[in-house]
Amino acid sequence: MVNKIYLDVCALCRPYDDQSYMRINLETIAVQLIFSAIDQNMYDLVYSPVHIKEISAISDQIERFELYHLLQETGKFIKVDKARARKRAERLVSTSFGVADAAHLVFAEAVGADFITCDDKLCKKCCTVDTVIWAGNPVAFCDKEGLR
């Protein structure tokens, strides 16, 4: 069975960010390595309605189109029990998660996917809640998985 991975929108958008910053450039390279591994069927990329909602708010039309296309061509849309997901998301929001961040984590948890984000605060919050999935940034994921 292939492991599932869930990249939030900030991780998916990393290649569109200003590459003159070393951290952004390293995370971009890591995201590219992750997609290379997905293309080699080492992982299944999963995405949720939260992705669609957040991507629809991206002002750059080319970036928005490319991200939609990337998810549709590479990812698998996931559906979960809405009542259970809402309950879990509400608990996370009550512990200082933002609504979208909570929803992303809930969808990743629902399918047992590793959760990848470039948001340091979100990574730290994930470590403080009772989640059974791995959560971290793209570079940490590549290190954990030995992607080179």
Does the pLDDT of residue 1 top 90, yes or no?
no
CATH number of 3-145: 3.40.50.1010
pTM of the predicted model as reported, rounded to 2 decimal places: 0.96
Beta strands, E only, 1-148: 3-7, 43-47, 75-77, 114-116, 135-136
Measured CA to CA, the distance from residue 124 to residue 122 in angstroms comes to 5
Per-residue model confidence as pLDDT tens digits over 89-125: 999 999 999 999 999 999 999 999 999 999 999 999 9
User: Given pLDDT bands bounded at 50, 70 and 90, which one contains residue 47?
Assistant: very high
Per-residue model confidence as pLDDT tens digits over 50-88: 999 999 999 999 999 999 999 999 999 999 999 999 999
Measured CA to CA, the distance from residue 31 to residue 78 in angstroms comes to 21
118 near 10, Cβ under 8 Å?
A: yes
- Per-residue pLDDT, 118: 98
The domain spans of the chain are 3-145
Per-residue model confidence as pLDDT tens digits over 5-35: 999 999 999 999 999 999 999 999 999 999 9
